[in-house]
Amino acid sequence: MGQVPLKIGGVVVDPPILLAPMAGYTDTAFRSICMEFGCGATYTEVVNAQGMMRESPRTMHLLESSEVERPVAAHIYGKEPEVMAKAAQVAEKLGRYDTIDVNCGCPVRKIVHKGCGAALMKDPEQIGKITGAINEAVKLPVTIKTRIGYDEQHMNLFEMAEQAEQGGAVAIAVHGRFAAQVHSGPVDWATIGELKSRTRMAVIGNGGVTEAGDAIRLLKETGIDGVMIGRGAVGNPWLFREIACLVKGEPYLQPTREEREEIIFEHLRRLTELAILEYKHRRRIRWAPEKSAILAFRGHLCRYLQGEPGWRYVRRGLNDISSSEDVARAIEVAFSGRQGN
């Protein structure tokens, strides 16, 4: 089957395969790598609207991006329409973003306790007010990311979508689990497909896509407009290239060890550059840029090497990795299956 480009207002996403926002993972370093392997669009990590409004250096650092990763969405969270609107204006003025995305599904406790993220799912009218305020404040297309419901007692996806659409949202990304499930349990693709028949917004499906075939099945079985990939892409940015090969009916060759090593160190290099940039803007940080980059990279490295003979050794010693030399040793251990001295 061919892929029809996804349209989000005037923004064209081609291919319609997107990288999901993930706190601690989808910074500009990782987003740019995924785009180079064929991802159609990316999202920032979840960014606090209050911090954006104050232009806090720590918050603004999360909004670093590069031209290579466009189209990219500024993915923001908050609960007050006026604050969210002002945050959207800050993002628009940066000139780096193509859409403004409202987080209506993050299940992280500290965000939910503030009445933000998944907590908004219990108040669909507030979602409409937020999208409406942002839509009036900026020219960029407004979208939302949510789940099928907060829990089984609050499965109000269709009401949320209706309110968002009335507020001017042009696309909705839906994770096919309840917020209460976090990332465990079955994924309800059928409900996402039903939403497609009930709304004029573009519908993007998310959840349970870990292999190339999953993305194709989700598009085919539901008739939705796009697929969003989250954890399946961590440690495997080649997944986007594999999906493209599957669509075109072309053979896909798994990356060699040399190719994987090259991307691992390129990813670390970009993270280091990002950490250096943060140091220039925020002098009061705990670690030197090189160590800060390594600490941020540990989770990625574990996923890059998952499944290799010595992966369990790497995982056990992950917290001891503090230099690029340690990364090189971890790679050797992973592929050889031997811990060494």
Q: Which of 225, 248, 271 is the last residue of a domain?
A: 248
**Which of 214, 248, 282 is the last residue in one of the domains?**
248
Q: Cβ contacts of residue 314 below 8 Å, gap of 6+?
A: 301, 302, 305, 308, 330, 333, 334
Range of the domain at 332: 257-336
Place of tokens 């945050």: 87
Same-domain status, 55 and 112? yes
Which pLDDT does position 282 carry in this prediction? 61
Q: Are residues 265 and 169 in the same domain?
A: no
Q: Any idea what the CATH number is for the domain that residue 108 is in?
A: 3.20.20.70
Residues 194, 293: one domain? Answer: no
Whether 39 is catalytic is no
Residue 118 lies in a domain: yes
Angle, alpha carbons 56-62-66 (nearest 5°): 125
Q: What's the confidence (pLDDT) of residue 339?
A: 79
Residue 341 falls inside a structural domain: no
Q: What is the DSSP letter of 229?
A: E
**pLDDT range class, residue 2, cuts 50, 70, 90:** low
More confident residue, 43 or 286: 43
Cα gap 51→35, rounded to integer Å: 27
Last residue of a domain, one of 248, 279, 300: 248
Residues 266 and 205 reside in one and the same domain: no
pLDDT at 292 over 80: yes
Please check the confidence at residue 341 and state whether its pLDDT lies above 60. Answer: no
Q: How many domains does the chain have?
A: 2
The residue that leads in pLDDT, 337 or 72, is: 72
- Tell me how far apart the alpha carbons of residues 321 and 326 are, in angstroms, rounded to a whole number: 5
pLDDT per position as a tens digit, 234-289: 999 999 999 999 999 999 999 999 999 999 999 999 999 999 988 776 656 677 88
State whether 38 and 136 are in the same domain: yes
Distance between CA 47 and CA 78 in Å, rounded? Answer: 9
Question: Do both 285 and 179 map to the same domain?
Answer: no
Q: What is the 3-state secondary structure (H, E, C) of 162-213?
A: HHHHHCCCCEEEEEEEEHHHCCCCCCCHHHHHHHHCCCCCEEEEECCCCCHH
Which phi and psi (to 5°) does residue 241 adopt? -70, -40
The two structure tokens encoding residue 290: 């090189």
Q: Are residues 129 and 222 in the same domain?
A: yes
Given 39, 104, 106, 302, the catalytic residue: 106
Average pLDDT score over the chain: 94
Specify whether 308 is located in the same domain as 159. Answer: no
Same domain? For 91 and 144 the reply is yes
Distance CA 192, CA 338 (A): 45
Task: Assess whether 198 and 70 both reside in one domain.
Answer: yes
Question: Is pLDDT at 1 greater than 90 in this prediction?
Answer: no
**154 and 235 together in one domain:** yes
Structural domain contains residue 224: yes
Check: pTM over 0.75? Answer yes or no: yes
Residue indicated by tokens 């840029």: 289
| Statement to judge: residues 278 and 139 lie in one domain | no
Residue 133 lies in a domain: yes
pLDDT in tens, 205-231: 999 999 999 999 999 999 999 999 999
152 is a domain residue = yes
